[in-house]
Structure 1
């Protein structure tokens, strides 16, 4: 369906459910797949086989980003595509969430994406252009009570995406976003195992499989989306439409 042969792609948060599904699809599509995560990246790269590389990456650490890009270029040459997929979620209201946790969510979801774009852009210029996809959320499109830190980070990520899209446009670097709905991953559930957002009343009354969302990300990263930058793709099963009466 997609052909990424010869393209070098770095995926953050690669060992999570969505990251693994995306990395697997990229590897099958022929990409030089760089899987980046705090833990487990080497094992995932080994499982993928082919031209794959695992790198340890804390997205909030600028020096980790410098090392990740350097290792990518040493193995495959300049970077073509970056997927900012790493995310951290903490349940908490405006009044109840600990300040240190609020900051940790923003550091991962927002600052991590900023550092990724900053590190990747010079490499993409050397490649003659590229594509950046930020994995956002429906929490960046609608009110998310009880998820104040996560929602704040995702709304801010929209502003970062649009600013970067304008700044990098003349370098032939596209920056877009995919807003998934509720995915069947651990992030869909609270610490006690209860679903954070019920899906029974949605237009599509189920959670998405990670592979379904991965296909939207692949499209945004591919040349099929070459006329889009600063754009947002919503894949939410009708969540933003509101409940079906």
Structure 2
């Protein structure tokens, strides 16, 4: 469906469920895949197959971003697509969340994406352009009580995306975001097995599969979306519509 033959794609947070699905989908579409995460990156690259490598990357470290881009270019040449997928979530209200945890969430979700854009843009200029996709969330579009830090980081990430889209437009670099709904992973459930966000009354009354969200990300990074920049792609199963009778 999508053709990324000859394109080089770096995916952060690659060891998570969505990261694995992205690595596999991009590899199937012909891309050179760089699976980047703090752990498990080699296993993800092996699962993706094709022309894939794994690199260690803590997205909050400028030095590790520089190393990841150097290794990417050494293996495949300039970068064409960056998917800022790494994220950290900590439950807590605006009154209860420890300040150090608030900072950690923002450092990973927002500053990590900023460092990714800074590292990727010079490489994409060498390639004549590129695409940056920030994986956002429904918490970046709606009230998210109990997720004060996560929601704050994702709302701020929207501003970063639009600023970068305007700044990099003349370099032929598109910047977009994808806002997934609830993905079917263990993180969607509490310790007692109950869903953290009930979805039975949504327009599409189920959680998304990681592969479904990966397909939306591939579309937003593809030539089929070549006229979209500064755009927000929503794949939330109708969460924003509220309960459906």
TM-score interval for Structure 1 and Structure 2 normalised by the shorter chain: over 0.9
Supply the distance in 2 between the matched residues of 1:187 and 1:222 (Cα, whole angstroms): 29
Q: Which residue does 1:58 correspond to in 2?
A: 58
Q: Which residue does 2:242 correspond to in 1?
A: 242
Contact 2:69 2:119 in 1 (8 A): yes
* Cα deviation, residue 58, structure 1: 0.3
Contact 1:93 1:146 in 2 (8 A): yes
* Cα deviation, residue 49, structure 1: 2.1
Q: Which residue does 1:16 correspond to in 2?
A: 16
User: Which 5+ residue runs of structure 1 have no aligned equivalent?
Assistant: none
3-state SS, counterpart of residue 39 of structure 1: coil
Q: Which residue does 1:146 correspond to in 2?
A: 146
Supply the distance in 1 between the matched residues of 2:214 and 2:24 (Cα, whole angstroms): 10
Q: Which residue does 2:157 correspond to in 1?
A: 157
TM-score by length of 2: 0.98
Contact 2:176 2:229 in 1 (8 A): yes
Q: Which residue does 2:220 correspond to in 1?
A: 220
1:88 to 2:88 alignment: yes
Q: Which residue does 1:230 correspond to in 2?
A: 230
Q: For each residue in 1:78-127, what CA deviation from the matched residue of structure 2 results, as whole angstroms up to 9, or x when unmatched?
A: 00000000111111111111111111110110000000000000000000
3-state SS, counterpart of residue 175 of structure 2: strand
User: Which 5+ residue runs of structure 2 have no aligned equivalent?
Assistant: none
* Cα deviation, residue 190, structure 1: 3.4
Contact 1:91 1:190 in 2 (8 A): no
Supply the distance in 1 between the matched residues of 2:116 and 2:139 (Cα, whole angstroms): 21
Show the 5 A alignment for 1:24-35. Answer: 24-35=24-35
Supply the distance in 1 between the matched residues of 2:65 and 2:191 (Cα, whole angstroms): 30
TM-score by length of 1: 0.98
* Cα deviation, residue 192, structure 1: 4.7
